[in-house]
Amino acid sequence: MNRTYRILHLISSLGVGGVQNQLAKVVSSYDRSKFSPLVCCLSHKGEIGEELERLGIEVKVLGEKASGSPARCLGKLYQLLKAEPVAILRPHKYHSALYGVLAGRMARVPVIVPSFHLPQAIGKPRRRAMIRLLSLWSDQVIAVSQAVAENLIGEVGVSRRRVKVIHNGVDLNDFSSLPAKEEVRRGLGIAGERWIIGAVGRMKPQKGFAYLLETLPLLESGGLRDYGVMVVGDGPARADLERKAREGRCGEKVAFLGARRDVPQLLQAMDLFAFPSLWEGFGTSLVEAMAGEVPVVASDLPSVREIIPDERYGLLVPPQDVNALARAILESWRDGAFRQSRVAAAKERAFQYFSLSKVTEAYEGLFQELLARKMTEGVP
């Protein structure tokens, strides 16, 4: 391969979110001598779209919500693919895959590789049938974890040979030259030696933040008094969570920081990272906490086990189990020596297995393999 190939990433929107953030990281890391990226969103550009443009990456906006007119959305995307010399099409999540794979086939894009970032719900038979069909029209289907892959294969019915696992990754450069803990805390108005529990993620029921709030009286009963909870993120459940915090007797201990783009720096202020999700496709913020040397307590989920296989790296608790979550937080608070040994092991694991450079290398290798295959088949 001695030419540069145009690669188009397609997503519903480019507002702040885990999938969008990972897309931006990977796209920014491509070897530009081999791959020329273009990002397209179905509805609105958002903060991450503007960030990509500042980095010199072209962003196109179709202005069509996935829930709008399917024919119009499909038509606009088809016209874009015909106008651009796209060699590789990368739709992210179900709705983008639906429009992207169909338009890509119509426009005869040589390589089509959709990604799925969450397990698909069992109660949606039509969606499962459509994903099976889309997989047949794709060259490869990416799952961001083995848990998502097994869901696609076992529950959805996608052929195992079509599914490839490429985990999400974190940019290790984001965790170098960070300000000191005391400086970050001063900037956030955190006083003294207060023990800070942090949580990061989009505010929706799936993330389990409500269960974290329910642990607070149990933490105080267990002897933890001088503490605070820092919740980073935004989303549809934020108002309910803020009300729940206000109505609880420990509500004054909770700070909602909203969506932030400086998570590695905010991690410096935390003494513990809580990840109480009910289900996950992967858990990139968990890897960020590990890379940022923050001890973690997380829900025991199949995808989380791929990141934290045992207690050498963090404490795992059953999802939705408030008592178990509180016990794990208190255990981490009390056992400083064990906490520090976990931090060191977790950081090493994050750096070894989940770096952005490894993720980008895996994608570029896959694209080169698929393009070479197409060339042998006579596809330009």
CA–CA separation, 148 and 139 (whole Å): 18
Residue keyed to tokens 């609105």: 44
- How buried is 374 (Cβ within 10 angstroms: 0-12 exposed, 13-18 middle, 19+ buried)? middle
The 10s digit of each residue's pLDDT in 340-363 is 889 999 999 999 999 999 999 999
Q: What is the pLDDT of residue 379?
A: 64
What domains, with CATH codes, occur in the chain? Answer: 5-169+356-376 (3.40.50.2000), 172-353 (3.40.50.2000)
The 8-class DSSP code of residue 58 comes to E
Q: What are residue 199's phi and psi, to 5 degrees?
A: -145, 140
The 10s digit of each residue's pLDDT in 252-310 is 899 999 999 899 999 999 999 999 999 999 999 999 999 999 999 999 999 999 999 99
Residue 11 β-bridge partners: 41
Number of CB atoms found within 10 A of residue 334's CB: 12
pTM (two decimals): 0.93
